[in-house]
Chain A
Amino acid sequence: MKLMKTLLAATAILALAAGAAQAKQLIYCSEASPAHFDPGPTTGGNDFDASAHTIYERLVEFAPGTTEVIPSMAESWDISEDGLEYTFHLRPGVKFHTEPYFTPTRDMNADDVIFSFERQWKEDNPWHAYLEGMTWDYFQGMDMPKYLASIEKIDDLTVKFTLTEPNSPMLANLAMQFASIVSKEYADQLEASGDMAAFSTQPVGTGPFQFVDYQLDTVIRYAAFPDYWDGKQPIDDLIFAITTDASVRAQRLLAGECDIMPYPAPADIETLKADDNLNVMESEGLNIGYISYNTTEPPFDNPDVRKALTMAIDKSAIIEAVYQGAGQDAKNLIPPTMWSYDEATPADVYDPEKAKEMLAAAGVTDLTTDLWAIPVSRPYNPNGQRVAELIQADWAAVGVTANIVTYEWTEYRERGKQPDRKGPFMIGWTGDNGDPDNFFATLFSCSAIGVSNYSSWCNEDFEAAIQDAKAISDPAERTALYTKAQEIFKAEEPAITLAHSRVFMPMKKTVLNYHMSPLGSHIFKGVDIQE
């Protein structure tokens, strides 16, 4: 027994000594393993956090905590009058990371920028398919092949992008993760050595943190990059402790095993808030939970029927019961933090009596319909089944019978986007780049029918407004057009705009200067730890 005690004491001392010798360290309990470390082909928020926001940077960035586009690898840029030419002036003296597997011989330049896009764009680029079965989902999803005409090197520090047609969200697109600048010199080295796949597992970037090690499904280690152009980071080591279960993440934070975590389970938020050592940051999410009517299916093809059904729903009860204080009534498709949000839009009123009258006036009696419930918890809708049950009850009160249907998540979306789908379909969206176009055009343009326009709604006036807004770059003019689009949306009600959710980020009080990204990224540039 005595020996045991001595051993334990010795261990404790050794452990303390080991701890004291450690550098300034920030441990982030992340929610999932990254697929790999190339931000071009990956699509998950966890993938981006692990590569795009630590190791890599882009021509332009979103300013911390906002969706405002600011200079990064490009110090400045000019946009031609016709909106077709974007000329970027690159920042001189930007270094790539020196790693055991790569030593850069030159600074970041125009060749790197061109390579970063051409590998995603040109099928004959040797890097276009360097991993088996790879796809460039965001490059495709943001319609880059449609808009890009050419990318040219003017000189080492000047690059010109020429577009096929004006597209004002382009600058915001270039701040997205897929547009990260990678090293052409490193790619050439790997190509020569024949180990191209290493590009995704042994990353080299220009970002604030450089890659140290990844133990599969366990931990990712980064170190502050000493030669970072914007100065070395205040923390020395950044560690991602991969912890998939939300409740276990909360337990680890409470036990002091990590400093900061994303996506707490709603049930854990009160406990985390009550802990004296923790601080739970929260912000408006750049998202929308909505329910798409199929506007080609009778009687939902009649806007009055759609408006009546929306009016029959007690949204405030849903928000209280399901979002539990983390939701906000959505009167527009875009969230209130986004520019061009139309404050003048009237909030949806809950009036079952009037709804009944409107349905009767439209000749709708004894309506029976399917109601699609999201099978998984999403940031914009934590419990689709519960939302569906509440709507089912509200609609029953006005004589509408709703049968709740649901499928496995990918299957659900696949069936939901069929133009002949029956019944209102619950879905949502989280913004990619902070541009209103990313909501309006992605979700309700005519060309998105069968892809992500779950309402199969194609309205001429709405379409004209959003397409015009995409082509001009003056924010005031664009705002006017998006305001018009929001008016049309409200008058036509192709979908019930349910709620925007709040996002929580629990962390130790010792974590300093963390900014919550409205785009849902987790970024540790500039973050410090109080010792």
Chain B
Amino acid sequence: MAKGKDPHMLNYLLRRLALIVPTVIGISICAFAFVRVLPGDPILAMAGQHGVTPERYEILKEQFGYNLPIWQQYFDYLGSVLQGDFGISLATKRPVITEFLTLFPATIELALTAMFLAVIIGIPAGIFAAVKRGSWFDQATMGVALTGYSMPIFWWGLLLIIFFSGYLGWTPVSGRIALTFFLRPITGFMLVDTLLYGNWPAFVSALRHLILPAIVLGTIPLAVIARQTRSAMLEVLGEDYVRTARAKGLSPRRVVNIHALRNALIPVITTIGLQVGLLMGGAILTETIFTWPGVGKWMIDSIFKRDYVVVQSGLLIIALIVMAVNLAVDLLYAFINPRIRVQ
């Protein structure tokens, strides 16, 4: 089948792309409105303990454009964003996009590692639980998964720090790499950079710093993936073609690995894609606990500083990225599962 010419696929792609425009406008309105309903005032937040006189306050308000009607502020903002200008941070006076790009690799590195852990543990655990349905392993796995899913990230993170870093002293308390290593970023991905520098101890240090936060961030996706894999697997194992394969006398391993797994993984892939949005949310908490210098911690710090510009543009950029990933997952899903395209 020539996939590029598939009318259903093209149609589907266009429909999905057309949805992006209203979604982006909706998100930009939400982000813009969100920072304005936050209590507090960015000008007063900047002024420090001396405060500002009413006259000076008015001057500053004008300087930042906060004296304009709210709709005008929004359209000015939208106009700039469409030209790729996400504004200048009120606190640091640097372009928001520059700061975002500096910090984003740290978040991706953490999120990918968390997802990697979740997938390599979650999928086999789910398969095994399904194959051994009702066994002690199945029950234990699903019990642990439910606990993992329900656990508050903040509490879980602090607990791991106190135990592994404080009590056992196995892992560092926070940060991305030991401070004795001074490597200027090349890609921004610490594991990659340390290897590019050929600095093995630095790589090990970076890995040690990554373990706890990745476990914390990966816990919920791990639980979700394990449960999803188990139920998808159970469904597929009951299908006629699996029974046929069994009846043909194929080895149980071959039945599971070749026939059942391929089909069971289709919904799991969607689940993994949908976890990306959740990972961004989880990253905010995880990065804050572990002083992980990524965009999540940057957003939290900016909220406390009342840095309107960073908060609204940061929210918008993150939302756009999550949307792009979801779109990619949908397309991938449509690609591997033709039934979706015509629906």
Q: Do A and B come from one complex?
A: yes
- Interface residue ranges, A against B (CB under 8 Å): 11, 14-15, 18-19, 22, 25, 27, 32-33, 35-36, 43-44, 131-135, 137-138, 140-141, 197, 200-201, 213, 215-219, 221, 239, 241-245, 247-248, 251-252, 254-255, 257, 407-411, 413-414, 417, 429-430, 442, 450-452
CB of B53 within 8 A of CB of A451, answer yes
CB of B291 within 8 A of CB of A242, answer yes
Report the minimum CB–CB distance from B203 to chain A (whole Å): 9
Assess whether B338 is interfacial by the CB under 8 Å rule.
Answer: no
CB of A132 within 8 A of CB of B93, answer yes
Question: Bound complex: CA of A33 vs CA of B180, how far in Å?
Answer: 19
Q: List 27 A-B contacts (CB under 8 A).
A: A14-B201, A15-B201, A18-B180, A19-B180, A32-B301, A35-B93, A36-B93, A43-B48, A44-B48, A133-B93, A135-B60, A141-B50, A216-B99, A216-B103, A217-B103, A219-B175, A245-B288, A251-B162, A251-B174, A254-B166, A255-B165, A257-B174, A257-B178, A407-B39, A413-B51, A414-B44, A451-B53
CB of B41 within 8 A of CB of A133, answer no
Task: Find chain A residues with CB under 8 A from B298 CB.
Answer: 217
Report the minimum CB–CB distance from A77 to chain B (whole Å): 26
Task: Find chain A residues with CB under 8 A from B178 CB.
Answer: 257
**Which of chain B's residues 68-123 have a Cβ closer than 8 Å to chain A?**
88, 90-94, 99, 102-103
Question: Bound complex: CA of A56 vs CA of B215, how far in Å?
Answer: 42
CB of B64 within 8 A of CB of A133, answer yes
Task: Find chain A residues with CB under 8 A from B91 CB.
Answer: 35
Question: Bound complex: CA of A213 vs CA of B182, how far in Å?
Answer: 9
CB of B40 within 8 A of CB of A137, answer no
Report the minimum CB–CB distance from B213 to chain A (whole Å): 12
Which of B48, B179, B182 gathers most chain A CB within 10 Å?
B179
Report the minimum CB–CB distance from A178 to chain B (whole Å): 11
Q: Of B38, B88, B179, which is within 8 A of A133 by CB?
A: B88
CB of B93 within 8 A of CB of A134, answer yes
Question: Bound complex: CA of A409 vs CA of B44, how far in Å?
Answer: 10
Report the minimum CB–CB distance from B96 to chain A (whole Å): 12
Report the minimum CB–CB distance from A444 to chain B (whole Å): 14
Assess whether B20 is interfacial by the CB under 8 Å rule.
Answer: no
CB of A137 within 8 A of CB of B47, answer yes
> Using an 8 Å CB-CB cutoff, how does the interface string of B176-190 with A read, 1 for contact, 0 for none?
101111101100000
Q: Of B39, B93, B166, which is within 8 A of A255 by CB?
A: B166
CB of B179 within 8 A of CB of A239, answer yes
Report the minimum CB–CB distance from A192 to chain B (whole Å): 21
Q: Of A213, A239, A245, which is within 8 A of B289 by CB?
A: A245
Task: Find chain A residues with CB under 8 A from B47 CB.
Answer: 43, 135, 137
CB of B297 within 8 A of CB of A217, answer yes
A19-B180, A217-B297, A255-B166 are known contacts. Are A138 and B50 too (CB-CB below 8 A)? yes
Question: Bound complex: CA of A241 vs CA of B179, how far in Å?
Answer: 8
| Smallest CB gap from B90: residue in A | A133
Assess whether B46 is interfacial by the CB under 8 Å rule.
Answer: yes
Task: Find chain A residues with CB under 8 A from B158 CB.
Answer: 247
Question: Bound complex: CA of A413 vs CA of B179, how far in Å?
Answer: 39
CB of A408 within 8 A of CB of B289, answer no
CB of B88 within 8 A of CB of A132, answer yes
A217-B298, A251-B165 are known contacts. Are A410 and B41 too (CB-CB below 8 A)? yes
CB of B40 within 8 A of CB of A408, answer yes
| Smallest CB gap from A375: residue in B | B39
Question: Bound complex: CA of A354 vs CA of B249, how far in Å?
Answer: 98
Known: A216-B103, A244-B297, A255-B165. 8 other contacts (CB 8 A): A131-B93, A133-B90, A137-B48, A141-B50, A217-B298, A218-B176, A245-B291, A248-B290
Task: Find chain B residues with CB under 8 A from A44 CB.
Answer: 48
| Smallest CB gap from B88: residue in A | A132
Question: Bound complex: CA of A32 vs CA of B201, how far in Å?
Answer: 28
Task: Find chain A residues with CB under 8 A from B172 CB.
Answer: 255, 257
A200-B93, A217-B298, A245-B288 are known contacts. Are A15 and B205 too (CB-CB below 8 A)? yes
CB of B169 within 8 A of CB of A255, answer yes
CB of A411 within 8 A of CB of B179, answer no
Question: Bound complex: CA of A452 vs CA of B50, how far in Å?
Answer: 7
Question: Bound complex: CA of A410 vs CA of B54, how far in Å?
Answer: 15
Assess whether B196 is interfacial by the CB under 8 Å rule.
Answer: no
CB of B179 within 8 A of CB of A255, answer no
Q: Of A25, A133, A252, A410, which is within 8 A of B174 by CB?
A: A252
CB of A411 within 8 A of CB of B174, answer no
